Structure 1
Amino acid sequence: MGVSTTSPEKGISRVTADFPPVNALPVQGWYDLADAVRAAGRDPATRCVVLTAAGRGFNAGVDIKEMQRDPGHDTLIGANRGCYEAFAAVYECEVPVVAAVHGHCLGGGIGLVGNADAIVASDDATFGLPELDRGALGAATHLARLVPQHLMRALYYTSRTATAAELHHHGSVWKVVPRGELQQAAMELAREIARKDGTLVRLAKAAINGIDPVDVRRSYRFEQGFTFEAGLSGVADRVRDTFGKEPQP
């Protein structure tokens, strides 16, 4: 359980998150993920990183129950900073990052895949930001990298999800495959990238980031300010207290 790094083939590092039962990451988990991705990218032998997860789904965002156990704001601050670091680590990784997504990809998961260089998804993968249902805001920056602007807004306001097939239609998912073929498909793409010259592929990653029209770190940090406002005002706690409970008649 936790975050692990393996080297399945020459030039490829695989970073895997495993936080049962649904990969809702605790505060430390986000920092651990950030450290693992950055370390993999710094390794001169690595030319591509595959970001994946074990269990039922790719990522369910932050651990809401951990936040509910904290009577103060330390966990909220930690989760926001941890997510910020993990998302930035994927974006700033010195080599391309291929996200291999299965099952649910929610909340913080959108921040990870939205900052990845390429996404391969299983046909059961779903993507969304249920933030308004969980007393939080954020990662619209990253959802906007996956779907067109108006669809992003509709998904954000309703907390609905989009399927892997829909994202493939919009061009943000490279390939959709049966779940049993996900790792193979992700490795095929990573292998093709890893065949490139190591120095040149790092220059390419820096060049592409340099021409990005949106500063993803600044944009996401702006969003986080509203999450803090929701937390300090009490509205976040009010919404989170209904998390996991059936609505009353």
Structure 2
Amino acid sequence: MERLEFLRVEVAGLVATVTLRRPPVNALSAPMMREIAATFRALGRSTDAAVAVLTADGDRTFCAGADIRESDRRYNRRALLPEESVADLVDPGEVVRDCLFSISGGVLPVIAAVNGAALGAGLALVASCDVVIAAENAVFGLPEIDVGVLGGGRHLQRLVGPFKARELMFSGRRIPAAELYRQGSVATVVPHAELAGAARSLALSMAGKSPLALRLTKQAMNRVEHLPLEEGYRLEQDYTARISRFDDAKEARSAWLEKREPGWKWR
């Protein structure tokens, strides 16, 4: 992987920990978002990791959203900046979508370990993950209405549902992690000092499963999320047929019957 400016990536035990590191609040600039997208795609192409954890340093902010000054320049300019392509001028929102979809549409299950405030595009980053663990001090919100923009509502709906999402978007109010836990959007809320350990423990338990099964399960879950029940279940049956042909599926059954740890072959 190329040298990273805005992230720290550590891989151990088939778990990749991706840490945001653009002080003071991890505001997302275009170069940082491109780096996130490239990192998750590179992890997905390799066999080094089966699961990823997305987190940030510190105890106050996970990600405060898009870099407002840069975003304003990106959406309101009439000429290319030196580092940009024509695509950036024609569709200035592409870099944001590409960043978010590299996580939600990527092949690795991703656990968000939210250490503090996740606001605006930071909330969208969290909602793009598959499982959310939060520190007790974490808060979530879309304050875009306060700075003359909008966005992230569709991602917020994944966490709270359409009516609560409207209330939060219209008001800009922040919602604490405990409230999202009660709604089932956050898997667990822990003291800040225990966040990294809780996220890694969950990631390791997931990484013990067949890495091919994890990837196909994520793909299936993404595809069935908005389908009617009958159509969605039929699609899952198709995925079951696909995965059962792999040697790792046979190994899973043998290991279960023989009461031993499986040995995955990635085939």
> What do the CA deviations read for 1:179-236 (whole angstroms, capped 9, x no partner)?
111100110110111000111111111111110218xxxxxxxxxxxxxxxxxxxxxx
Could you state the TM-score of these two structures normalised by the residue count of structure 1? Answer: 0.80
Give the unaligned 5+ runs of structure 1: 215-249
Unaligned runs of 5+ in 2: 82-87, 228-267
State the partner residue of 1:25: 28
Instruction: Tell me which amino acid in the other structure corresponds to 1:206.
Output: Q
**Residue 90 of structure 1 pairs with residue 103 of structure 2:** yes
Structure 1: distance between partners of 2:223 and 2:56: 29
CA distance in 2, matches of 1:147, 1:49: 24
Q: What is the CA–CA distance in structure 2 between the aligned matches of 1:128 and 1:20, rounded to whole Å?
A: 20
- Quick one: distance in 2 between partners of 1:135 and 1:16? 29
Aligned pair partner of 2:190 in 170, 177, 184: 177
> Which one of the candidate residues 93, 100, 103 is aligned to 2:116?
103
Q: Distance in 1 between matches of 2:92 and 2:204?
A: 33
- Backbone CA RMSD of aligned residues: 1.9
* Correspondence for 1:34: 37
Report if aligned partners of 2:66, 2:122 keep a CA contact under 8 Å in 1: no
Name which of 82, 93, 98 aligns with 1:80: 93
1:64 is aligned, of 68, 79, 82, to: 68
Match of 1:213 among 226, 236, 240: 226
- Aligned match for 2:153, one of 129, 140, 162: 140
1:69 positional shift: 6.0
Instruction: Name the CA shift for 1:66/1:195 in 2 (closer, same or farther; >3 Å).
Output: same
1:6 partner letter: E
The structure having more radius of gyration, on CA atoms, is 2
Against the structure 1 CA distance between its residues 51 and 79, is the aligned structure 2 distance closer, same or farther, given a 3 Å change threshold? farther
How many correspondences in the alignment?
213
Further displaced range: 116-125 or 52-61: 52-61
Q: TM-score, normalised by structure 2?
A: 0.75
Provide the residue aligned with 1:119 in structure 2.
Answer: 132
Q: How far does residue 101 in structure 1 lie from its aligned partner after superposition?
A: 0.3
Q: What does the per-residue CA deviation read over 1:133-154, in whole Å, with 9 as the maximum and x for residues that have no partner?
A: 1221111111000012211110
Corresponding residue SS for 1:144: helix
> Which of 149, 171, 179 pairs up with 1:158?
171
Distance in 1 of aligned mates of 2:157 and 2:148: 20
Query: Would the aligned equivalents of 1:107 and 1:128 in 2 still touch at CA under 8 Å?
Result: yes
1:140, 1:152 within 8 Å by CA — same for their partners in 2?
yes
* Alpha-carbon shift at residue 68 of structure 1 (Å): 5.0
Counterpart secondary structure, 2:62: coil
Q: Cα deviations across residues 106-142 of structure 1 (Å, max 9, x unaligned)?
A: 0111111111100000000000001111221111111
C-alpha deviation, 1:103, in angstroms: 1.2
Q: 1:118 & 1:79 partners in 2: Cα distance?
A: 29
